[in-house]
Amino acid sequence: MTDTDKKHQEQPTNKEFIGKMLACLYEPTGDNEKMEFRTTLEIINEMSEMADISKADLTAAMNEIGFGIQLMNGALCWIVYTKQR
């Protein structure tokens, strides 16, 4: 195994990295007073200073973690529960 292969194995995948960032900001369940509705683009914009995230990677991470989705005023929104910042 080359050094490049070892480094690649040690680095988290983009989905894992996104999952860690999401865990800092949101939870998939919680109290109603912490519930918010966010579009995929809103979440990407919120995280844009930390990483370059694609819609596909964010969607995969959100689904894997278990965030729900709801149609709000014609737009699909993620149901997120904010953590205290």
Helices and strands per DSSP (H, E), number in the chain = 4, 4
Kindly report, residue by residue over 45-64, the tens digit of the pLDDT: 999 888 889 999 999 999 99
Cut 0.85: pTM above it: no
What crossing angle do the helices spanning 40-47 and 14-25 adopt, rounded to 10°? 90
Kindly report, residue by residue over 9-33, the tens digit of the pLDDT: 544 568 888 999 999 999 999 999 9
